[in-house]
Amino acid sequence: MKVIEPGHIYELPSIDAPGMQYLVFINTQTGQEHSGTISQEVIRVLIDRLKHKDAQVPCIENKDLIYHARMMLLTYEARAYRRKIDKLNGSDEEHSSFRERDKDVPFDDLGWFGGPRTGIEMEPVGKDGHLEVQVFPHFLTPQPVNLRIADV
């Protein structure tokens, strides 16, 4: 792998033929803009490939790789969800720091709660490449638990 433009363009060797392949990520930095994909789409491709390989020759390592790739995708999508909630998409500002792992988002590695639960990589994405999910503000507000001693 050779870095052509840090964070955005990579040259990858072809394994069974001469030549190179290129992986290009979108660049929205002023004066350097160009089209490309986003990391989440590459992770979705890797998950699909891993599922294909596991269907051919099942093994625990494939299942572990699928799980960890889904967790990577979940973390990217949780970040995007929080930025949408805080109305910070397209800005350099940090999103809210409240989070307890991924309990403040309405999805996990299997997808959106209430959905088909076939894997986060199978959930529909919007024009921005991120999950199309509804905003549920109650996920961002910790709910106080009022217990009386007698209830415990």
Q: What is the pLDDT of residues 16-40, one digit of tens each?
A: 999 999 999 999 889 999 999 999 9
Q: Do residues 19 and 51 both lie within one domain?
A: no
Give the position of tokens 């299997």: 110
pLDDT 10s digits, 81-113:
887 777 777 677 776 666 666 667 777 888 777
Are 109 and 64 contacting, i.e. CB atoms less than 8 angstroms apart?
no
Q: Do residues 50 and 18 both lie within one domain?
A: no
Closest CA to 7 of 73, 28, 76: 28
Q: Do residues 19 and 48 both lie within one domain?
A: no
Confidence (pLDDT) at 142: 42
Provide the H-helix boundaries in 5-141.
39-56, 60-85
Confidence (pLDDT) at 149: 45
In angstroms, the CA 42 to CA 126 distance is 16
DSSP states of 76-111: HHHHHHHHHHTT-TTS-S------STTTTSSEETTE
pLDDT range class, residue 43, cuts 50, 70, 90 = very high
Percent of the chain past pLDDT 70, that is, above it, reads 80
Q: Do residues 3 and 78 both lie within one domain?
A: no
- List CB contacts of 100: < 8 A, sequence separation 6 or more: none
Number of structural domains in the chain: 2
Q: Do residues 102 and 28 both lie within one domain?
A: no
Q: Which domain holds residue 25?
A: 1-36
Confidence (pLDDT) at 19: 93
Closest CA to 119 of 44, 22, 53, 13: 44
Q: Do residues 79 and 137 both lie within one domain?
A: yes
